[in-house]
Amino acid sequence: MELIATHSFSRRYHDTLQDFWLAAVYGFSKAKRGKAPNAVDRYRLRKKYPFPATVWDGERTLYCYKQSARNELERFYLTNKYPTPYQKRELSERCELSYMQVCNWFKNKRMREKEQAMKLQQRYPGL
């Protein structure tokens, strides 16, 4: 863990090094407690021992999407709620997400918007 925390690494290795970091944190917990951490324990460990700046760009993530990716998707959504497969591929590359993540993001965004509209319609029937 000390090696990862004290040396700078290329961004292309961050995912692998983050996996090593978590494996070490979970391994220490298992050795200390005598059992593997469950989902809640792993969540608490990730909060207690965040990735060092050497393997993380420091950008906050929310629901596994970086803020910059969410902003990019939101901007595109304002112009086009139904992107073509080609546009989704371009977005996935720009946002560093998989094609399926982009597809699901748009599908979920449309559903959330539809649900909000239905709630407003129920609350204010004359609208």
Give the model confidence (pLDDT) of 56-97 as tens digits: 766 666 567 788 899 999 999 999 999 999 999 999 999 989
What local confidence, expressed as pLDDT, does residue 61 receive?
A: 60
Mean pLDDT score, 1-5: 77
The two three-digit tokens of residue 56, written as one number: 């993380």
- Tell me which of 63 and 102 has the higher pLDDT: 102
What local confidence, expressed as pLDDT, does residue 47 receive?
A: 87
The two three-digit tokens of residue 84, written as one number: 């073509």
Mean pLDDT score, 94-107: 93
Average per-residue pLDDT for the chain:
88
- Our CA angle for 30, 31, 37, nearest 5°, is 10
Spell out a b/e string for 72-97, using b for 16 or more CB atoms within 10 Å of the CB, else e.
bbeebbeeeeebeeeebeebbeebeb
Give the percent of the chain with pLDDT over 90: 53
Mean pLDDT score, 30-54: 89
